[in-house]
Structure formats: structure tokens, C-alpha cells
């Protein structure tokens, strides 16, 4: 072929950068010589390379003089256009040894392929790790003499890093799956074959060999317990299934049974078409929690039974104590009626009468709290006039207040909203709180009774400047028979059931009662909160 110039030989778009570069290059200063003298096979190969959209390079002669196409420019980076016409070793000095090996082997007639070949290049002025797919083939003339090397270069760095990131994410996901505290498994197909299980699942099933087996084969006891039927339904219907504290029995190799309780979810897995192809199994072994709950239930039942027996005993005790009080009281009155009775006998009769009266109050309280705690009290609900209720309570509490020389300060708005409740029981609540303050305030103290409206609630505060309540006693102040810790002796009297009765009555009114104190000798405050009546 009579070749005069590359322009005559190569028909390319005028936008080809390398077409122009090759035409303008001084090839006479390279081993390949001037363009007019290039062998036909070289001319044809260069034409092929320049026309290709794939990054391609030709390396001519033993030195590997470089000729490349437009698609190779991006790969060459800052080495372009200095690479053109240079020996491969000089053009890519950082991979010179690799290039030497390629040139030697291909020039001997070998074809070489490299996939995901890692290299470090300096094409952008700094060291850069890249991954490449490389194919090198010998370029031969008609006599099978190798004139050069044809190289196809595809950079896969982005794909490699994306795959590496994907592999890392998959491994991390696998580790999370395997190390999850709850049990997990992936089942495929209508036979529910195990594809994946985590360590918690293997621990649950006794570390059986389940991989690649159907659930019914790997754990046959699940068939008769209904789990396979549930899996079949989930797979066929596409509906998820969940259960809480479901009992399941496993049989070990030695025939020993193990019952466990599990929280369980069967979630159908769908492909791109929406068809179910498997089931995701997830759950937790809650055996210990279930056993603890059962133990607590048994303890609660025992406590309820003991509490009921206590309430019944208190009721019986109150009745038994009350029976002799009437004749004792009558006897005392008869003694006082005897004329010319000895003074000592009269004083004894008065003491007996007072003590009988005190005993009657205690027994009445005991009966009352017994009826309330057993749910035998039925409130007589109605619209309650709060001001009249407070006045009645103050009147009942006044004798004890006067005996202790206390000052009672009552404060409330001229008009208070009404509420729905049992008036007599609410009077009892206020009296008990005022009496409690009276007992635990040294003589000459001040007790404040305040009633005010707080939006949707009525607040009744009883505050004193008495001996206060210790921090250890405060959480138990409304417990029945709580009293002994407040004073060094029992001089205040009572059974310690007044505040328990207050709480029970307030609770029946859908309210609450709170106690607060800054500590011993710092006084105390009790607040009753009741829902107000909607007009």
C-alpha cells in the first residue's frame, strides 16, 4: 500500500484529538520512523485503535513506542500528551517492571489478560491506587513476525471500590445478623429450607445441623406443634404472623425435652414481582421472663390471699372487741349511779367510761377500714357543698384541737365549686387529716386547713408545724398501722389506720392524696386532690 500520510489513510472525525496529535508528531525522532514508512499492519492497527471507543494503546518495537487513542486520554491523566511516541518504560516509570514483563512475553507471541489488577500510578501528580482489566495481544505481520503489542485498558477502580464497599456492608450485615441477641433465620421455598440462621437461633434449637434442610426435617417436633402449618399459611397467603410467649418443646438427641417460650414473627419475603419466595423468622427467647412472671403471679396470688385473710381477721377482731364494750360501758354507768359510792370507785368508773369510749372509736375505725379494704363500702354519691363539709369537719375536730391548745386556720374562697362525692366520707377524710396533724404537733401549734380550686380539681391542704415525717417513713405513711416510727412512744394513741382510711376513701372518689415534709421537726403537709363537678 502506497502510504503518503496518516491523513490519507485514516478517515476520522475532525474532532479526534489523537488523530491530529499523531499527524503532527515528529516520528522521525523515534524508533518507528516517519509515517510514510510504517508497515501496513501498523497503519491498520493504528486505524483500528483510533476508531475504538475503548481505551486502547499500541506499543511498537522492542522499546514499546506508545500510540494511543482518545479514549485512553482520560486514563493517562497528566501524562497526556507526553506519553505519545515515548517508550513504555519511560512513559509509565512507576510500573516499568510490569511493562517490561508484558513487552517481553507478548513480543514472544503470548497473549496476556489481567482482571482487577491493582497498580499504583502517578498520573495525577500523586500516588493513586487503581484497579484495571488489561488485555495484551501481539501485532504480527504477514510473516508472523511480532511488530508490537496491542493493549486494551479498562479501569475498574470505581467498580472495584463499589464492590468492596458492598462486600464490606454485606459482611457487616452478616455479622449483625449473626450476633443479634434475638434469633433469626431465612427460609426459602414452600418447604421452608434454611438458607441462613444466626447463633441465637442455633442456640435455641440445640445447635442442630439445619443448613440446607427443611424445617420439618431439621426440627421434626415442630410439625405436631403446629409451626409448619403456620409457615405454610404465611408462605401461601403472604400474611405475616406474630405470637407472644408461644410455648415450644424441643427434643434433644438423648430424648430429653426442653420447653421454651418465644416471641415470634414470621415475615414473608417477596421478589420484584411481589411473589413470596421465602420467610424471615425473627424472635426472642423469653423463657426466663415467662417463668419470672409466673413466679410473680403465684406470689401475688399468695399475697392477695394473705391480705384477704388479714382483712377477714381484722373484721372478726373488730366484732369480737366490740361485743364486750356495751356491757362494760353499762357497768361503768351503773357504778356512777350508785348513791354514796366511794370516790375511788367513781373515779375508776369514769376511767372505764373514757377508755370504753376511746376503745369504741378504735374499733369503729378498725371496722371501717376493714369494710373499705374489702370493697364493702358503697359511697352515697351526690353534689357536695364543700364549705358546709369543711365546717362540719372542723366542728368534729374541735374538741381534740382545744385539748392540745392548737390554733386552726381555715381558708377558702367565699364560693367554692361543687363536687360529686359522699359528703359524710369526705368529712371523715378532713377530720382524720386534722386529727392526725393535731396528734403530731406539740401543744400550742398551728394547723392550716385550706381549700382551693385548681382548674379541674379541688385541693384540700392540711398543714402543721409539728414533728414532721422522716424520709424513711414518708413513702409508707399511708400504709395501714404505720405510726411507730414517728414518735418514741405510743402516747399519741390510735392504731395507725387513719391515714390508710383517708387514702382508701379518696381513691374511691377517683382522687389522690399526697404527703410531704422537709423532715423531722419541720412540719408536714397532706394534700387531697379530687375531681371537681362539671356544671
Tens of pLDDT, residue by residue over 438-488, are 999 999 999 999 999 888 899 999 999 999 999 998 888 988 766 534 443
Q: Which of 440, 438, 441 is nearest to 430 (CA)?
A: 438
Cross-strand pairs, 453: 458
pLDDT tens-digit map of 103-135: 999 999 999 999 999 999 999 989 999 999 999
Residue 464 buriedness (CB in 10 A; 0-12 / 13-18 / 19+): buried
Determine how many CB atoms are found less than 10 A away from the CB of residue 176: 11
CA dihedral 15, 16, 22, 25 (to 10 degrees): 40
Domain-ending residue, one of 351, 373, 395: 373
From start to end of 422-508, where are the E strands? 446-454, 457-464
**Mean pLDDT for all residues in the chain:** 87
Q: Distance between CA 78 and CA 94 in Å, rounded?
A: 14
Give the end of a domain, one of 285, 320, 338: 285
Q: Which pLDDT belongs to residue 347?
A: 77
For residues 12-20, average pLDDT? 70
* pLDDT score at 11: 47
pLDDT of residue 312: 65
Q: Is the pLDDT of residue 40 over 70?
A: yes
Least confident range from 8-12, 94-98, 134-138: namely 8-12
Whether 165 maps to a domain, the answer reads: no
Dist. CA 433–CA 198, nearest whole Å: 62
**pLDDT grade for 299, boundaries at 50, 70 and 90:** confident
Render the burial of 86-103: b for 16+ CB within 10 Å, e for the rest. Answer: bbbeebbeebeeebeebb
More confident residue, 311 or 398: 398
Quick one: 304 and 428 in the same domain? no
Q: Which of 421, 452, 418 is nearest to 532 (CA)?
A: 418
Convert the pLDDT of each residue in 156-169 to its tens digit: 999 999 999 998 98
Give the model's pLDDT for residue 490. 41
Q: Is the pLDDT of residue 5 over 50?
A: no
* Number of separate domains in the chain: 4
C-alpha cell recorded at residue 441: 404537733
Same domain, 459 and 505: yes
Does residue 467 fall inside a structural domain? Answer: yes
Is residue 225 over pLDDT 70? yes
Residues 268 and 307 in one domain: no
First to last CA, the chain: 114
Regarding whether 327 and 434 lie in a shared domain, the answer is no
The domain of 250 spans 180-285
**Band of residue 418 on the pLDDT scale cut at 50, 70, 90:** confident
Last residue of a domain, one of 258, 285, 312: 285
The answer to whether position 99 is within a domain reads: yes
Q: Is the pLDDT of residue 12 over 50?
A: no
Q: pTM here? A: 0.47
* 214 secondary structure, DSSP code: B
Place 101 in a pLDDT band, splitting at 50, 70 and 90: very high
The reported pLDDT for the residue numbered 504 is 87
Residues 123, 33 within the same domain: yes
Separation of alpha carbons 482 and 463, rounded Å: 19
Mean pLDDT to the nearest integer, 49-61? 95
Q: What is the pLDDT of residue 170?
A: 87
**Would you say residue 167 lies in a domain?**
no
DSSP 207: S
CA 113 to CA 133: how far, in whole Å?
A: 8
For residue 318, what pLDDT is reported? 58
Amino acid at each position: 500500500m502506497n502510504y503518503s500520510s496518516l491523513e490519507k489513510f485514516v478517515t476520522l472525525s475532525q474532532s479526534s484529538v489523537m488523530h491530529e496529535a499523531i499527524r503532527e508528531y515528529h516520528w522521525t525522532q523515534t524508533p518507528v520512523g516517519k509515517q510514510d514508512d510504517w508497515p501496513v499492519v501498523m497503519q491498520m492497527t493504528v486505524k483500528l485503535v483510533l476508531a475504538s471507543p475503548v481505551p486502547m494503546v499500541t506499543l511498537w518495537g522492542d522499546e514499546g513506542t506508545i500510540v494511543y487513542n482518545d479514549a485512553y486520554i482520560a486514563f493517562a491523566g497528566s501524562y497526556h500528551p507526553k506519553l505519545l511516541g515515548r517508550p513504555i518504560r519511560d512513559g509509565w516509570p512507576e510500573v516499568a517492571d510490569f511493562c517490561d514483563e508484558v513487552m517481553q512475553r507478548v513480543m514472544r507471541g503470548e497473549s496476556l489478560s489481567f482482571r482487577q489488577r491493582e497498580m499504583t500510578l502517578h498520573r495525577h501528580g500523586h500516588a493513586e491506587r487503581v484497579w484495571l482489566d488489561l488485555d495484551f495481544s501481539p501485532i504480527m505481520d504477514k510473516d508472523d513476525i511480532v511488530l508490537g503489542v496491542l493493549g486494551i485498558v479498562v479501569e475498574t477502580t470505581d467498580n472495584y471500590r463499589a464492590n468492596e464497599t458492598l462486600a464490606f456492608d454485606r459482611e457487616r450485615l452478616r455479622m449483625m445478623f449473626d450476633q443479634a441477641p434475638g434469633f433469626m433465620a431465612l427460609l426459602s421455598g414452600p418447604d421452608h429450607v434454611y438458607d441462613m440462621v444466626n447463633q441465637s437461633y442455633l442456640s435455641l434449637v440445640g445447635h442442630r445441623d439445619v443448613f440446607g434442610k427443611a424445617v420439618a426435617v431439621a426440627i421434626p417436633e415442630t410439625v405436631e406443634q403446629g409451626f409448619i402449618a403456620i409457615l405454610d399459611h404465611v408462605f401461601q397467603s403472604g400474611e405475616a404472623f406474630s405470637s407472644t410467649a408461644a410455648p415450644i418443646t424441643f427434643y434433644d438427641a438423648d430424648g430429653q425435652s426442653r420447653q421454651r417460650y418465644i416471641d415470634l414473627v414470621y415475615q414473608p419475603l417477596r421478589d420484584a414481582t411481589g411473589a413470596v419466595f421465602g420467610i424471615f423468622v425473627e424472635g426472642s427467647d423469653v423463657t426466663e421472663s415467662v417463668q419470672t412472671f409466673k413466679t410473680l403471679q403465684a406470689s401475688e396470688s399468695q399475697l392477695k390471699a394473705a391480705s384477704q385473710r388479714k382483712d377477714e381477721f381484722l373484721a372478726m377482731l373488730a366484732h369480737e372487741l366490740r361485743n364486750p364494750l356495751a356491757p362494760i360501758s353499762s357497768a361503768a354507768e351503773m357504778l356512777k349511779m350508785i348513791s354514796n359510792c366511794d370516790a375511788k370507785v367513781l373515779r375508776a368508773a369514769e376511767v372505764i367510761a373514757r377508755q370504753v369510749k376511746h376503745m369504741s372509736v378504735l374499733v369503729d375505725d378498725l371496722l371501717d377500714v376493714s369494710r373499705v379494704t374489702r370493697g364493702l363500702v358503697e359511697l352515697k354519691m351526690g353534689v357536695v357543698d364543700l364549705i358546709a363539709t369543711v365546717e362540719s369537719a372542723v366542728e368534729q375536730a374541735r374538741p381534740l384541737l382545744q385539748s392540745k391548745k392548737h390554733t386552726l386556720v381555715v381558708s377558702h374562697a367565699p364560693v367554692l365549686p361543687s363536687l360529686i362525692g359522699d359528703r359524710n366520707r369526705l368529712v371523715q377524710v378532713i377530720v382524720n387529716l386534722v386529727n392526725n396533724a393535731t396528734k403530731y404537733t406539740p401543744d400550742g401549734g398551728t394547723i392550716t386547713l385550706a381549700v382551693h380550686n385548681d382548674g379541674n380539681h379541688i385541693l384540700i391542704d392540711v398543714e402543721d408545724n409539728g414533728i414532721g415525717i422522716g424520709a424513711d417513713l414518708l413513702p409508707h405513711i399511708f400504709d395501714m398501722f404505720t405510726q411507730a416510727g414517728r414518735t418514741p412512744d405510743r402516747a399519741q394513741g390510735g392504731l395507725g389506720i387513719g391515714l390508710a382510711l383517708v387514702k382508701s376513701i379518696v381513691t374511691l372518689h377517683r382522687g389522690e392524696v399526697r404527703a410531704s415534709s422537709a423532715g423531722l421537726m419541720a412540719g408536714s403537709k397532706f394534700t387531697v386532690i379530687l375531681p371537681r363537678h362539671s356544671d
